[in-house]
Structure 1
Amino acid sequence: MQADAVGDRYELIEEISSGGMGAIWRGFDSVLDREVAVKLIRTDAIVSAEQAEEFALRFQREARVTARIQHHGVPQVYDAVLDDSFDRLYLVMELVHGRSLRAFIDPEQPLPVSWAAAFGAQICTVLSHAHAVPVVHRDLKPDNVLVTDEGVVKVLDFGIAAILRTDVTRITATGTPIGTSQYMSPEQIQGGTVAPHSDLYALGCVLYELLCGHPVFDGDNDFTRMHQHVYDEPVPSQQVRADVPDELDSLVLELLAKVPEQRPVDAYEVYERLLPFLPTPGSRPESGTAIPTGVPDPTVMFRRPNAPRQRSIAEPVLQKTAPELAESVQQAPRTGLRESIKAAYERSDALLEEARYAQAAEMLQNVIEPAGEVLGAESLQVLSLRRRRAAILVIGGDYRLALPEFDALAAAFTRTEGAGSESAVECLQQAALCRAELGQVTAALRQFRDVLVRLRATDGDASPMAFDVRRLIGMLLLSENKVQEAWDTLQPLYDDLCLVRGKSDESAQEVRAILARIRLAEGPDGRA
C-alpha cells in the first residue's frame, strides 16, 4: 500500500513516538533515497486561521534556527514543509537510530561515575554550540537525548527552542512555560527570562539522575515538583551515593543553584570540570565497577577518539527444523502471505524504476521475516526474496550490507541446491564483488577462485560468467601488484575471448588494452 506522502517527497512509514507538540515518523526521502525523521506538529493545537499562521511562522523560524546548530550531536535538519492550508506542519531531519538516555537510569544499578560524566560532557559540547547561536533548548531531559550504538549522544527537539532575539519573542511566547516539571529551572517555572543558564540547570537535573538513579525532586505531581525546584534544596548526590567524588558533587549542586548567576558560567566550564572524571585516550574500560550490559558505552569516544567504524559480523540465519516447517506451513495463512510477497515485489519494482534503492530493499525486507517464519528460512521463495533484496543493495552501492547476505545465501544455496548450482555460484560471485568494492582484495580473490572452480566443473572455462570472473581475478592481482600472476591470468583469457567471440569483441579489446599497459610498464619475462 502506498504510504502517506509529505510535500510530494517524503513518505511516512511508521510512527516512532509522540509528545506534546506532535508525532515523529520514520519516513523516506524519495529524491535522495534515504531514511528521514518527520516531525508532524499536532493539528488539534491549531484552532483558528490566526493561530495557524502564528504556528507556521514560529515553526519555520525554529526550523531555520535548529539548522544553524552545526554539531554532530544535533540531528541535521533537511527540510521544513508547510501545508498550503496550514493544517499540517512538518520538520524533516536526520533519523537517529539509538536508545533514550532514560534506558540508562536504574535506581538499583547507578551508572559508573565515568559514564555519567561522559554523558554530561557530550551534552555540554552540544549545548555550547547551541548557546553560541544562541538557542536555548528549554526542555532538556533524558527522554530528549538519544544514545547511538557507538555511545554518541544526540540531543533532540531543539525545535521548541527560540532564538534569543527580541524580534522572535512575540512569536514564541505562549503564556505557559515550556518544559518538563522534573527538569525545569526556577526561573522557567516562575515565567522569568529563559537563558542558557536554564539549560545548565536541566543538565544538573540529568546528571543527578544519572548518578543517583532517581530525579533530584520527585513530588507526586507537577505542582509539587515545581514548588520543590523553586524553594527546596536538593539532597547532595554524595548522601545518596558515597562514591561520588567531592568535585563532581559540588559541580552538580552548583548547576542546581536557584539563582542563574550562581551556576557555572557556561557549558564550556561544565565540560572542563567534568574532564577529570573522563577516561583518557587509550585507556581501558573501568575494572571493579558494575558496568551496565546491553547498552552502549558513552566513554568510548573519550577512550578511543575518532576510532574506525567497528567491524560488522553477519548474524547467523536461523533455520526451522522439518517438523517445525511442516507445522507452520499447515497453520499459515498462505493466501495472505502470497499476496504480501506479490505486493512487495511490485512495490519494490516500482521504487527501482525511480532509483529509490534503499526503500526498494526495505519493501522486500518487510516480508522476508514473516515469510521465513511460515515457509522456512531456506525455502526457495524466501531465498529468492533475500537474493533480490541483496542485489538491490548492490545496485544502490550498499556493499557492506549486501556482503553478509550474499555470503549467507551462497551457503544456503550450496546446502539446498549443490555447490555447482547457478544460484550458489552467482551469490558467491556477488559476495566476491562486494569484497572487492570494500577493498578486501585477498578475500575477494579467494572467493573468485572458488567461483571459477565451480564454474569449470559445470560450464567449463569459456562461459560468460567464467570470462567475467577470470578478468576480475586478473584485475585484483594487478591491484596487489602481482603483475606476473595477472599476466598469466589475462593472456590466456584474451586468447580464449578472441577464439570464442573474435578480436573485435568489446571484452577482448578491454583485456588487450590491460595487457598492453602491463607490457608498457613491466614487460614481464620479456614478452613485450
Structure 2
Amino acid sequence: MAETRLIQSRYRLLDLIGRGGMGEVWRARDEALGRQVAVKCLKPMSAQHDEDHTRIVRERFRREARVAAALQHRGVTVVHDFGEYEGVLYLVMELLDGRNLSQLLEDNAQHPLPVDDIVDIAEQVADALGYTHQQGIVHRDLKPANIMRLSDGTVKICDFGIARPGHGIPVTSRLTGVGIAMGTPHYMSPEQISGGQVDHRSDLYSLGCVLYEIATGAPPFDLEDSWGILVGHRDTPPEPLRSHRAELPGFFDRVVLDLLAKTPEERPADAHDLRRRIAVGRTGEQPSLGPAGEAPPAPVALSGRTPAPAAPLPAWAHTMTGGHRATGAVTPPAPLDHSAGLTLAWTTGTAPPGPRAPSPSRRDRAENALREFGRIAEDRARALGPEHPETLAARQQMAYALGRLGRHTEAHALHAAVLAAREHALGPDHPDTLRCRHNLAFSLSRLGRLEDAYRMAHDVAAARARVLGADHPDTLVTLYEVGYTLGRLGRWTEALHTYRRVAEARTRLLGSDHPDTLATRYEIGISLGRLGRSADALELYRALVADRTRVNGPTDPETLRARHGLGVNLGRLARWDEALAEARAVCGGREHVLGPDHPDTLVSRREVAVALGWLGRWTDALALYRQVADARTRLLGPAHPDTLAGRDDEAHCLEQLGRAREAADLYREVAVLRERGPAPL
C-alpha cells in the first residue's frame, strides 16, 4: 500500500512519522477535504503468526477505531475515518502538532519537566480520563508515549488499541473472564500484573507512574528486568517523589502516591476526584486523604533487588519483556518529521477470545489456564490463606476455564464456593460478590436450571443497578443474561423488552457500531422471530447485515451470523427461493471461514436442507440432513441432543420420500438413544 501512496483514492501518504511492532503512522493529505491528517496502517502479519494471532491483532486495530471514534473530547485524539485497502487496515486521525511525553523527556535529556507543566498535564489527563471512564472505556495502556502535549498546551490521550469496557466483566462475554494482562511493565497496575479484574482505577495507577516519571525523570520502579519491575509494582511501596526532587509541591507528591496505591480501593475514587484534588492543591489548600482516610505507608528504599513475592506472579510474566520506559519508548525510522507528533507506540498483547464455540487450540488454552490457575490457587492458599482475595481470584479463574471447557457442573460448584467466601468477606452487594453471583447464574443456565438461573440473574441485575447504576456495563451484561434465560424459558415478550433496554443503553454508552450493541440487536431479532413478527425481524436483520458488513467485513463470523438470521426469517415468511440462496451463501462462507464441521456451519447446512424440503426437493435435503447428523455423531457422540435432532430431521425426510419403514426404524433408534441420555463428559 505504501508504494501507491494513495489510499481509497483519497488519502495521499506524504511522510512516515512513526513505526512500531504492529504498523506505521504517516502524515497524509485528505484529497477530498484538502486537509492534513495522520494515517495509521496495520502491517500485514508475517507467516510465523497463526490465524488466531492475526485475527486478534486485526480485531484490536478495529477496536481502537471503534473506541476512539466514539469518544468526543478535547483530550482524546479525533478519529476521522477507518477502513481496509488492499488487505491493510487503516485509521485516519487528526494530525497532532506536538510531542508525546516520552519525546518531551528525551528532548529534555531525561531531566524532569517543569513543575507547572507537570501539574497542568496531570489535570488535563485527569479530565480526559474522567470523560473516557464515564463512557465505560478503560485505556489499559496509559504511558508517556500515549499522551501528547500539543504546541498550544492541549494534552491528548492516544492509542486505544487495547482499551475495553471497564469494571471487570467484558461486555462481549456472558461469562466473566479475565484475559491475559496487557500493557507496558513500567506502567502496569498490580491488578493487571496479577491477571485480576481491571477497572478505571487501573488507568489511575498507570497515570501515577507517568506523573512520577515526568516529575522525577524515572518511573517508580526503574529496574533492569521485567520480573523485578512487576514485583516492584505489586509488593514495593514507591519512594516519595520529593525524595528525588524537593521542589515538587507537597500536595502533588501525596496525590501521586495515592494513585500508586497497591489496591484500587486505596486510590482516588475516579478521575473526577483526582482532578478535584489537583485543582484544590493548586490553590494551596490541603487535599483530602485517600478513600480509606489513611496516610500512605512508610516508604521503603529501593535497591537493585526487590523482596520475594508472597505468591508467584502469573506464568505470562516469566517470558514478558521489560517494555520501555519513556527513554527510548519510540524507535522512529530515519528520517522522521517530528513536527507532527502522534502516538507511535504499537501494543502487542494477546486479546482474550470471544464467546464462540471453542476450537481445539482454544480448548488447549483453556486446559492450560485451568492447570496454571489451579497451581496458583494452591500456592496462594498456602501463602495467604484459602479466603484471601488473591486466592479467590485464582479460583474464580479456574471456574471460568471450566466453563470454557463445557464442564459446567464443576464450574458451578467452584463458583458457588467462591461466592460463599466472597459474601462472608465482602458482603452480598460488593462488586466482586455480584460478579460471582453473575457467573453462578450463567452456570445454572448452562446446566438447564433455568428458573434458578433467571431468579439469580434478575436479582444480580437489580443489585448491580442499585450499587453501580442502571447503565453500568456490569448491569447491562447481567440484563443481557436475564434476556437470554427468559428466551430459553419461552418468555419471549419479556426477553424482547430486556434486550431492547440493553441495546438502547449500549447504543448510548458505546455507540451503534460497538460489537456489544450489534450483538444485542441480533438477540432482538431472535425474539421478534420467536414472537411471530418475522417481517420486523427481517427488517432488523437486513440493517444488521449492512452494519456488520461495514464494520466487520462480509466474511466475518458475526456478519455471517446476521445473514443466517436473515435467511431464517425469509423462510418463516415462505420466501423459500430467497431463503435457500441466503442459506447456501452463509453455509459456503462459514465453511471457508470456520471449517466444514464447525457447529455454525452445520446449522447453516441444515438450513439449506430445510429450504430444499419446503421446495419439495426431498432427495437433496436428505443428503444434507445425513451429512449434518453424521458430523454431529462424529463430533458430539450419537446420543447428544443435537445429533438426535439431526437424526429426527433425517427420519422426517425419509417419510416425505415414502420410505416409511426406514423412517420408523430411525425414529425407534433415536428414541432408545434419547432414553439412555448422552454419555458423561
Which of the two has higher C-alpha Rg? 1
**TM-score, normalised relative to structure 1:** 0.49
**TM-score, normalised relative to structure 2:** 0.38
